Amino acid sequence: MKKKLDEAKGLWANELPNVLWSIRNTAKNSIGETPFLLAYRAEVVLPIEMCQPSLCVMLFDKHANWEMMKEALDFLPETRGNVALRQQLYKLRMAREYNKKVSRRILKVGDFVLRKMETVERSNEEGKLTPTWEGPYEIYEEVHDGTYRILDM
């Protein structure tokens, strides 16, 4: 999208509908379907297919299409359920890939650590230069695996 709009330079507003149309008609990895298909339960007929008819366009029957669309409405909840499952699987795959790169730190009692400050605790006096970490703290007890009690130094 960015590339196409950058090519349009100052005329990006004229190019935006075409870019949005292409996004809506491209199958997404996370859902396995096009957003158009999920919204309208029908495949998109591309403008080029209207000029140079494909087999799908030549065999189009308005009455049969109407009946198939009514049938497809019955399967819409099932389709949306399948998409929700695909999204969960996609998120699990992405988390697994991310977690492969994360190295676990082993902390022990007596180690010194910093604590990430919550946004509520941070004052905006210094703007974006406000520190995001506070400390040092000393670990004095391990509650569970990866959970510690800390002492303020």
Q: Which residues contact 59 (CB under 8 A, 6 or more apart)?
A: none
Q: Whats the size of the chain, residue-wise?
A: 153
How does pLDDT run across 13-26, given as a tens digit for each residue?
777 787 777 777 77
pLDDT in tens, 30-74: 777 777 777 777 777 777 777 777 777 777 788 888 888 888 788
The pLDDT of residue 4 is above 70? no
pTM of the model: 0.47
